[in-house]
Amino acid sequence: MERIKVKDKKYKVASLFAGIGGLDLGFEFAGFDVVWANDFDKYAVETYRANVNDNIVLGDIREVMDEIPSHDILIGGFPCQPFSTFGKLKGFKDKERGTLFFVIKEILQKNQTKVVVLENVKNIVNHDGGRTFKRILRELDEIGYNCFYQILNSQDYGVPQRRNRMFLVGVRKNSFNTESFAFPDKQELTVTTQDILDKDVDEKYFISKKLEATILGYGTKGYMVKPTIDQPISKTLCATMHKMHRASQDNYVTDKVNFKKIKNDNKVAVRKLTPNECRKLQGFPDEWTQVVSDTQAYKQFGNAVTVNVAYAVAKNLMQYMDANIKEIAYCAE
């Protein structure tokens, strides 16, 4: 995936809850022009500016939404914690994050945006017995969008990570000649986690003998599970992986080659993934620069949209728009 030259781009994109730009890069690689982005996390914005572009605004979207320029497409991986099984499942009752969908709706109405692309956790489809997602679809339909959605797994698009996410594409009914939109076909996975591991790994990523029993343990009391490490397809990266949870939740690998370099009898030959390995598992480019701490980097990659999946969706959307858009008066200058 390589960025297409600006002069060859025609559809303008505004990005909400951009994070470090996984969704944005996928669209850039597919030929879209991301002209504006926003996130409220200062560390994510720092990483975005160092690796994507300077078109990102730091702040709460509710306070900067009037700054959004004219655009054809609105994209966003809106906060997933209210709908995730790892969270408290408050959904729309989460007044801080659960109601941000309605901010998206307001922006769409104000700008008469032609296409909206939203990403969230798989569980949003089933949250509250399916009522939450049905309401999202109903709200978008009422303001003029035909919606299509599908659960896409990152392992089906070139990276060895099991990561199921819901992608929704809403197309404005009066802007296109057809209501049909097709999501990208699955691709054969040709690499494993072991194929992307770093060649030279620092001692700090290896676990201690003291932690080994916890990491490789079977759990306690009501939470019993068989520990699994050295998975050819990694488990879902999460924002809290820097904390070293049990092996049943996070990814650990046996690394005897790098362990031989360590002169520390308190360490074992099992380690967690490095931030750079997490970068690879999320499809971010090789020239990526880490400008934040490891803790922040783990959080950022755990929260990110897999670039490969975003790219696959964006490519299909580009083809759809080129073939079906009614008017040439898109937002290109």
The three-state (H, E, C) secondary structure of 107-126, written as one string: HHHHHCCCEEEEEEEHHHHC
260: CB partners within 8 A, 6+ apart: none
* AA identity, residue 239: A
Per the structure block, which two tokens stand in for 299?
């959080």
Catalytic: which of 80, 147, 238, 278? 80
Per the structure block, which two tokens stand in for 50?
């160092």
Q: Does 238 participate in catalysis according to the annotation?
A: no
- How many Å apart are CA 93 and CA 99, to the nearest integer? 8
Find residue 206's DSSP bridge partners.
Answer: 271
Residue 258 contacts residue 197 (beta carbons within 8 Å): no
Question: What DSSP string describes 280-294?
Answer: HHTT--TT----S-H
Nearest-CA neighbor of 14 among 41, 29, 35? 35
Neighbours of 225 (CB within 10 A): 12
- How many Å apart are CA 301 and CA 139, to the nearest integer? 31
* Catalytic (active-site) positions: 80
